[in-house]
């Protein structure tokens, strides 16, 4: 919760305490609470989960304006019960709900550069759009974070729009507070003198461009130009700079619903299925792992999944081509001569992680790759990966990654982030950290610790294997995070 919201919560508790004792809130409580509500709305902005607290304060203010309260009459059992229920509802809705669903607070970047951000639209004239109106050529929005000159100041960029955060899962009235999140990125800032290494990120299936913003801002503050593709039709929402957006494809949503309903009809238990697949992919024999890996991919929905990863890899290629033109000055851009395209890294989360593996097996411009908990689809299953490769695995899906590690030929690492689920490796770990931690949605590891592990491993790996500098940042992580299990391959 934000500072004025904590003060409002304290007033709500004081009001409820008086109600439980059968007294009206004093006028000073009502006035103070109303003043805090006004300041909070004006300074911090209002949000839906605070509305019950606002109502409690306004009810107390209205009651106090009716004049001095009479001495409380003896209350019967029903009246005392009613007061107790009302007090409990006021505390749960007015205090606990805002505490469980706070406004995300992003970690402060530690690098020496201020962070700038902008949007880019990439149009690929070689491919037709897979979703939407037939005949359209493929185009997609890209969010960019980059180092700005020292001393740069300016308005902070929004984190995301409501449609991105909603993702068909979070109710809209909760998702709307995404507009209150304060980033550390300066909208439209100048670009620091380059050239800067380039990183390309892809979100998870149904994810959004900003879903791993703490890692993006940290990398940009350390001198990287970081780009994140919103893959239209398969992102929760792909926002274009002109205000239009592309939602997750309705046909895909219907297919997912049918598959879920069919699995439920057959009595499938997702957790038991996951345990079974994990066990099959974790067997000691590498040949058996590969055989089980191929069997897992032989699913009815597999062709669509591999097609998506291949198309996302082509999105990555199209973006990298455009960045090359921008750097060369073929296209008007503030990034002219600011990009070091000899040092290109690719990373992503979930399907975006699979995209990193797929792109980097195909395109020699990729020099290092990170897969954040992505099951590997596409052609890598029948090929090998030559570039340095890091897999960041959740405890939930860790067993899926061993067969992919088998396919690497360059230095490769697989780490396991303990007490963490697949979705816990996104910014959702910061949204409702207590709620999701208690419920197990993101895992039981402390959210700040989880973010620090992700950020330090991503930064350290690219520093060592993409930039060939500061190896101590990566090599020292085993001691810094002893709870993280590490498997190495092709490593002296």
Q: What mean pLDDT do residues 473-488 have?
A: 96
Q: What is the pLDDT of residues 307-365, one digit of tens each?
A: 889 999 999 999 999 999 999 998 789 999 999 999 999 999 999 999 999 999 999 99
Strands 389-394 and 366-372: parallel
pLDDT tens for 125-169 read 999 998 877 889 999 999 999 999 999 999 999 999 999 987 657
DSSP annotation of 179? G
130: exposed, middle or buried (Cβ count in 10 Å: 0-12, 13-18, 19+): middle
pTM of the model: 0.91
Question: Are 142 and 175 a contacting pair, CB within 8 Å?
Answer: no
The CATH homologous superfamily of the domain defined by 115-489: Alpha/Beta hydrolase fold, catalytic domain (3.40.50.1820)
110 three-class SS: coil
What residue spans define the domains of the chain?
Answer: 3-100, 115-489
As given in the structure block, the two tokens for residue 180 are 């209150």
85 close to 20: Cβ distance less than 8 angstroms: no
pLDDT digits (tens, 9 = 90+) for 288-310: 888 888 777 766 555 567 788 99
């Amino acid at each position: 919760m934000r500072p004025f919201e904590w003060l409002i919560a304290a007033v709500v508790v004081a009001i409820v305490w008086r109600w439980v004792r059968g007294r009206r809130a004093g006028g000073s409580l009502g006035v103070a609470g109303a003043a805090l509500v006004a300041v909070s709305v004006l300074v911090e902005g209002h949000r839906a989960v605070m509305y019950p607290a606002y109502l409690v304060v306004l009810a107390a203010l209205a009651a106090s304006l009716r004049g001095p309260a009479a001495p409380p009459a003896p209350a019967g059992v029903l009246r005392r019960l009613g007061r107790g229920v009302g007090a409990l509802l006021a505390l749960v809705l007015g205090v606990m709900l805002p505490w469980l669903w706070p406004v995300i607070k992003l970690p402060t970047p530690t690098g020496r550069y201020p962070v700038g951000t902008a949007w880019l639209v990439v149009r690929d004239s070689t491919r037709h759009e897979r979703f939407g109106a037939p005949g359209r050529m493929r185009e997609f929005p890209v969010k960019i974070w980059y180092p700005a000159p020292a001393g740069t100041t300016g308005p902070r960029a929004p984190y995301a729009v409501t449609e991105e955060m909603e993702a068909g899962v979070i109710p809209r009235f909760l998702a709307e507070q995404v507009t209150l999140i304060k980033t550390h990125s300066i909208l439209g800032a100048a670009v620091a003198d380059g050239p800067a290494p380039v990183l390309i990120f892809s979100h998870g299936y149904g994810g959004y461009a900003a879903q791993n913003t703490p890692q993006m801002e940290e990398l940009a503050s350390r001198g990287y130009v970081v780009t994140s593709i919103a893959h239209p039709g398969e992102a929760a929402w792909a926002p274009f700079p002109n205000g239009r957006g592309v939602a997750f494809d309705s046909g895909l949503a219907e297919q997912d619903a049918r598959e879920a309903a069919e699995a439920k009809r057959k009595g499938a238990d997702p957790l038991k299925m996951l345990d079974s697949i994990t066990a099959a992919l974790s067997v000691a024999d590498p040949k058996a792992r590969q055989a089980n890996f191929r069997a897992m991919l032989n699913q009815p929905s597999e062709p669509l999944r591999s097609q998506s990863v291949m198309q996302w890899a082509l999105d990555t290629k199209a973006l990298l081509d455009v960045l090359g033109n921008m750097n060369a000055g073929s296209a008007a851009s503030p990034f002219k001569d600011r990009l070091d395209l000899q040092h290109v890294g690719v990373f992503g989360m979930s399907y975006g992680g699979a995209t990193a593996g797929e792109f980097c097996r195909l395109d020699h411009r990729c020099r290092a790759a990170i897969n954040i908990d992505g099951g590997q689809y596409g052609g890598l299953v029948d090929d090998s990966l030559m570039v340095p490769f890091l897999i960041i695995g959740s405890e939930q899906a860790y067993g899926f990654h061993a067969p992919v590690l088998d396919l690497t030929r360059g230095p490769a690492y697989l780490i396991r982030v303990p007490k963490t689920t697949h979705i816990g490796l996104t910014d959702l770990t910061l949204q409702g950290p207590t709620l999701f931690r208690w419920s197990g949605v993101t895992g039981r590891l402390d959210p700040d610790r989880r973010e620090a592990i992700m950020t330090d491993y991503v930064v350290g790996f690219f520093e060592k294997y993409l930039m060939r500098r500061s190896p101590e940042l990566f090599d020292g992580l085993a001691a810094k995070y002893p709870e993280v299990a590490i498997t190495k391959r092709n490593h002296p």
